[in-house]
Amino acid sequence: MIQVLADNDGVVTLLWDTPDKKQNVFNAEAMTALADALAQANAIEGAIGIVIASGKRDFVAGADITMLQGMASQADDVPALYAGVGTLSKLLRDMEKGKLPVAAAINGTALGGGFELALACHRRFAANNPRAVIGLPESGLGLLPGAGGTQRLPRLIGVQPSLPLLMEGKRLSPAEAKAAGLVDELVEPDALLETAKAWIRTKPSPQQPWDKKGFKFPGGSSEDAGVANMFMVAAALYQAKTFGNYPAGKAILSCVNEGSRLDMDSALEIEKRYFVGLIRDPVARNMIRTMFVSLGDANKLVRRPQGVEKLKVTKIGVLGAGLMGAGIAYAAAKAGIDVVILDTTEEKANGAVDYATKIEDKAIASKRGTEERKATLLARIHPGIDFAALRGCQCVIEAVYEDRAVKADVTRRAIAVVGGDAVFGSNTSTLPISGLAEASSHPDRFIGLHFFSPVEKMQLVEVITGRSTTPATLAHALDVVTALGKTPIVVHDSRGFYTSRVFGTYITEGISMLREGIKPALIENAGKMSGMPMPPLALADDVGLGLMVAVGLATQRDLGMEAPINPSTPVLEVLVHKNQRTGRRGGGGFYNYDGKNKSLWAGLATEFPAAETQPDVQELIERFLIVQAVETARVMAAGIVDAPEDADVGAVLGWGFAPWTGGPLSYIETMGLGKFIAKADDLASRFGERFRPPTALREMAAAGSKYYA
């Protein structure tokens, strides 16, 4: 795993190359191997220093997820957990206090524990590799860097500049890392190892700056008035931004604050204590499971039907060059795939090229892109009006207006060209796939591919199987999604599928609260405090109130007496029909819009007078989360989603369901099924049957079973 290679001049290279893995990661085996390699290097007669290098494309990616899961499973055994947490921290501390200087030759990505290893080295050299990222992203999993990161980084670059990197988990390019002081030298990749060795040959001191007598933090420690005031401001800002939903940021602040007053060994004990507290917190457990394990499984296509040859995607077609179609075309071109995009006129089709141009120009202006990359990308987008251009596409994605007749027409015209050889995907967000597939002469190759807006930023694609969709079509559709660089979840056909169906309950609940006489500002604040990315009334304006009314009417036409009662309909009718307020694009809805500024429409107070008694904000927060969780439980009970992992990943990535919960099913399990059902039943008795849990959830609770083993 780690080779010990000694040069004649006394420079010892530790070459880390884990067999059968794409990346080097920290786990129990790796820590033992590193400890043994360091011991061997220090025992070599005439050794003058050590260079740690990687035999992989990247340096070290961080902790093995199974190790983090193992720690989380020990949450009730605090002594064992505390002992395990300190293993890597002690190893790195022993390394930096050893008799030999150590240099890190960072050839590629170094994240989490991988960068903590580099921080414990006496000098850091990074290759000028544009695809590499460097940083400490643990806060994104509800954790903090637990192997010295919260203590070494502030001592290296200062408390104030280190806090955003620690609390926000920022990932920097090697050039940005050099500018920020995270690495000492930026060198060309082919000169990396020799440059690190050359530094060792100068026989530098093996003592870290923070271990030298008289060391002072760059910019001051928390004992200095300016830094102490900064901590108070940072704590207030973090609370205002997260509403206390994410304990990792608070723990990082405390860890840095307390640790900066102590010597390094004592500070590392402080760090260990806070790390243990976080790993025992359900927020970290749920975020690790959903945003690391389940997300990783989705990207590995664990639900892809086996025995189907992988589809090599080199050319796709997109029907419709509107916002969604143009976004899909851009994603394809960015992934190196040729894309034919068709619309009713050349001008409309060329809009996809304009869309891509704007994105690339913005990247160039911020120094994240180049003219060469832009030219290459644009050359892959082929706009037009002739369906014959679709010949040779492995997949065609329909992204036209949500109208069955329009979709049926373009489906027939496209299938006439590509036949049954290509996957045909519809980007519909609500219309049942099986019904749309009736327009195709090859319904077995028809599937839903629901992208999210803006496509270039949103990672999720909801892959929806229809009645006739074959396993081979599902497998190939998943191949297309991953070729586009997106994350798929698998969903079965139904009205609204999964994401649109559950997402709608959040907006509906906010509008229902307004109808009850709850003040709109209180509704919006509760939505933000729940952890949702946007408050419900503002989100409704962005979706479009007129569109929501139209979807409601279409549902009533299709389902008749079986159409569910939507408590938001009376409010929407007042705004749309009585006041002609159709949302942001229409100039105003629940809000008035003035450029980038917006304010709640004063007419809401007249149309929906506030009740004399207003509810506690915590009750509103729970209503928002519980109504979405109940609907997710219904989706699972109906067999629309098979895997709880897909449900939680889809919720967090698709509509931004409070990430701190790990997703709606994780939220239910964290609360406990019995307690959740009791709360939901209480809300149902007071506000309506939309809160009533499905029978399947009650049966699970009675049997003592869970969604997750």
Helix locations, 366-468, DSSP H:
371-378, 404-418, 433-436
Amino acid at 320: G
Backbone angles phi, psi at 349, to 5 degrees: -65, -40
- Are 133 and 172 in contact by the 8 Å Cβ rule? The answer is yes
Q: In terms of residues, how long is the chain?
A: 709
Burial readout 658-685 (b: 16 or more C-beta within 10 A, e: otherwise): bbbbbbbbbbbbebebeebbebbeebbe
Q: Catalytic site residues?
A: 450
Whose CA is closest to 251, among 281, 222, 228, 224? 281
β-bridge partners, 123: 103
Amino acid at 467: R
How is the beta sheet containing 123-127 ordered, strand by strand?
A: 2-6, 11-16, 49-54, 102-106, 123-127, 185-187
DSSP letters along 440-456, please? -S-GGGEEEEEE-SSTT
Reported for 552-558, long-range contacts at CB under 8 A and 24+ positions apart, including other chains, are: 555/495, 558/495
The number of helix segments (H) and strand segments (E) in the chain equals 30, 21
- Are 100 and 50 in contact by the 8 Å Cβ rule? The answer is yes
Phi/psi class of residue 211: alpha, beta or left (left: φ > 0; alpha: ψ in -120 to 50)?
A: alpha
The greatest distance separating any two alpha carbons of the chain, rounded to the nearest whole angstrom, comes to: 88
Whose CA is closest to 110, among 163, 49, 155, 153? 153
CA distance 91 to 499: 45
β-bridge partners, 186: 126
